[in-house]
Amino acid sequence: RAQAAKFSPLGPPRKIDRMGERSMMRTVDGPVAGHALAPALTPNVAATMRGLGALLMASLLNASAASAGAAKASLIKGVSYGPVPLKSVEGASQLPEDDWFCDEAVPMWGPAGRADLRNIKNLGANFVRLYGNNPNNDHANFLDEARAEGLSVAAGMSDYPYYQQQSPANCQATKFNCFTQVKPLYLKNLQNGFLTSDGQYHSALKYMNILNE
């Protein structure tokens, strides 16, 4: 520290008060109290430093805005979609199935009918959670329409293989080792819309819920 002050053109070496650990260094503007003060910057260097500081601040602000934008874009705002058109348990029990993303339900979710997917999007959602799923039904059209509306999809697997299936036996009969029941049904899902012609998952399909509750 003494060496640095010795060769400074700005004044005599600083004096240190050992009791208070305060130092004095003479600058072009006069003596300033401190601990490790550097010589004053030339106008060109000072301007450069100010420019770099402004650039750094702008970069940090842009990075912060980009991070916030990415977080907002990845935030799930979802709607659970199971539009059972009956108000009683007895009536609902008469439904042959609860697969609402098959082609038979196009009048409900398609643009030519009730346009449920568009209405869900207009509510501000970006995600649709499904429940019923008959793997024998094709689901490509629903996934295409969801993608067109800017919606991601979380498909669900029906509880049919777990409790209702008789042949082969359901999961209760195999002590809830459900591999033999679930694998063939999921394969049918892949063949009926979950995979595209190039063998990739449909871009609208983001999650698959294989067991509900």
Cα separation, 212 vs 37, whole angstroms: 66
Indicate whether 84 pLDDT > 70.
Answer: yes
| The predicted structure's pLDDT at residue 125 | 96
Per DSSP, the residues of 42-53 read PHHHHHHHHHHH
Residues 6+ apart with CB under 8 A from 118: 111, 149
Per DSSP, the residues of 72-118 read HHH---EEEE---S-SSHHHHTT-S----SSGGGHHHHSTTTT-HHH
Task: Using DSSP bridges, classify how beta strands 78-81 and 16-17 pair: parallel, antiparallel or unpaired.
Answer: unpaired
Distance from first CA to last CA of the chain, Å, rounded?
A: 70
Query: Do the beta carbons of residue 51 and residue 64 sit within 8 Å?
Result: no
| The predicted structure's pLDDT at residue 24 | 42
Place of tokens 């509750």: 213
**Residues shown for the chain:** 213
pLDDT band at 23 (very low <50, low <70, confident <90, very high): very low
Q: Which of 3-12, 111-120, 195-204 has the lowest mean pLDDT?
A: 3-12
Within 13 Å of residue 128, how many CA atoms lie on the same side as its CB? 30
Q: 76-114: b or e for each residue (b if 16 or more CB lie within 10 Å)?
A: eeebebeeeeeeeeeeeeeeeebbbbbeebbebbbeeee
pTM: 0.65
Residues 6+ apart with CB under 8 A from 15: 23, 24
| The predicted structure's pLDDT at residue 99 | 92
Indicate whether 170 pLDDT > 80.
Answer: yes
Indicate whether 18 pLDDT > 60.
Answer: no
Cα separation, 62 vs 73, whole angstroms: 16
- Tell me the pLDDT tens digit for each residue of 150-160: 999 999 988 88
